[in-house]
Amino acid sequence: MNVFVTGSKGFIGKNLILALSRIQGLSIYEYDITDEENKLKDAISKADIIYHLAGVNRPQNNNEFIAGNVDLTKTILNYLRNRENAPPIIMTSSIQAELDNPYGISKKNAEEAMKEYKIETGNKICIYRLPNVFGKWCKPFYNSVVATFCYNLTHDKPLTITDPSREISFIYIDDVIKNLLQHLSNGFNYQSEPIIPGPTYNTTLQNLADILTKCRDVRTGGLLPDFSNKLEKYLYSTFLSYYEKDDQVYQVEKKEDSRGYLFELIKTKNAGQIFVSRTFPGITRGNHYHDTKVEKFCVLEGKALIKLRNMVSGEINEIYVEGTDGTIVDIPPGWTHNITNVGTTDLITLFWANENFNSEKPDTYFCEV
C-alpha cells in the first residue's frame, strides 16, 4: 500500500510517519509545504490513501492562512479529481474552524472544499477537527501551551499564566495517531461531517501548570504523577521528551553511613516508594517491624541472609538469597526483620515499601530479630 502524508515534517506528521514505518507492506511518500509541487502531484498519482496534515498555524501575515490551509487543500483535491479510483483522503482540521478568526476561517474553508469534493465525486473523505494536541516533538512557543510549559520547566524558566481558570480541551498525540491508522484497514465508515476524535481531556491552565510542575519536581524527591489518571500519565511522558539530551541524567540524594548507602529512586502517591541500598560485607540492616507497612526485598548483587520473627508467636524464618536468584522476599506486618550481607562483596538490594517514609509517622519499631 502506498501512503502519502502531507505535513510530514510537522508535529503530527513526525509521529504518524514513525507509526507507519513500523507497519510492514507500506511505501510512504512524504510532502512538506516547502517542497516542489511536482513532488505533490507525483505522490498523489501513486497514493492508495492520503493523510493531509499540512497547514499553517502562525504565519507572518494572514494571507498565508489561505495559501497554506485552503489553496493547498484545493490543489490536492484538483489532482484527485483528475485521477481514476481516487484514494480516500483524511484531513486534519481544528476545533477553531468554529471560530471567527483568520485561522479558524481558513480551516473552515478547507473543510468546505473537502465537502464539495465529496458531493461532486462521491469519493471518500474524512475530516478530523482536532482539539489541542500534545505529545513528543510538539514545537514550543508556537501553538501548544503544553509544549511551551514543558519547555520552560525543563529549561528552568518561569511559567506565565494570564488566565489560570481558562479551560482547554486536549488530545494526546498517540490517540490522534490511533484514529488516523484505523483508515488503513477496511470497514471505516467515511462521512462528510467533521469528527472530533477522542478521548479528550478538559482542564484549566492552572491545573495543567500544577501537573507539569509536579512532573519536574519528581527529580528532587517529589511524587510521581497519578498514572491512573491518563492526562497526568500522558503529560509526564510528554514532559520528559523536552529535556535536552545532556539533562536526561539526574542525581538523587545519597544517604550514607557506616553500613553503606541508600538511594530513594521513586515515590508515588498511592503505590509507595522504591529505594536501593549498598551494604558492606558483614553489615546488618533493619531489626525493626511495622504495624501496617509492608515491604519487598530483592537482592540484585551479592549474598544475603534475611531473617524474620513473628512478634506474637516467635516463629522465625531465615532465607538465604543471592543476586543471581531473582528472589523476592515479602515482609509482612508484625514480623521484625533484618538483612545481613553474608558475602565477601558489597550487597546491592532493591526495596519496595507500600507507603512513603514519613519521619513523623514512620510505623517503624526497633526490635532485634
Q: 62: pLDDT confidence band, cut at 50, 70 and 90?
A: low
Q: Among the three residues 240, 267, 293, which one is the final residue of a domain in this structure?
A: 240
Provide the 3-class DSSP secondary structure of residue 287. strand
What is the domain-level CATH number for residue 278?
2.60.120.10
Sign of the Cα pseudo-torsion (51, 142, 64, 120, in order): positive
Is residue 247 included in any domain, yes or no? no
How much is the pLDDT for 56? 66
Are residues 288 and 320 part of one domain? yes
Are residues 270 and 173 part of one domain? no
Are residues 117 and 24 part of one domain? yes
Q: 69: pLDDT confidence band, cut at 50, 70 and 90?
A: confident
> Lowest mean pLDDT: which of 54-58, 147-151, 169-173, 335-339?
54-58
Are residues 208 and 104 part of one domain? yes
Cβ(337)–Cβ(268) below 8 Å: no
Are residues 212 and 69 part of one domain? yes
Q: For residue range 136-165, what is the model confidence (pLDDT) as tens digits?
A: 999 999 889 999 999 999 999 999 999 999
Taking the whole predicted model, whether its pTM rises above 0.75 is answered as yes
Alpha carbon of residue 335 to chain centroid: 40
What is the domain-level CATH number for residue 124?
3.40.50.720
Is residue 249 included in any domain, yes or no? no
Is residue 248 included in any domain, yes or no? no
Q: Which of 51, 103, 172, 243 is catalytic?
A: 103
Distance between CA atoms of 7 and 52, rounded to whole angstroms?
A: 7
Are residues 335 and 189 part of one domain? no
Are residues 174 and 49 part of one domain? yes
Residue type, 132: N
103 is catalytic: yes
Question: Domain containing 339: what range?
Answer: 254-366
Are residues 186 and 112 part of one domain? yes
Is residue 245 included in any domain, yes or no? no
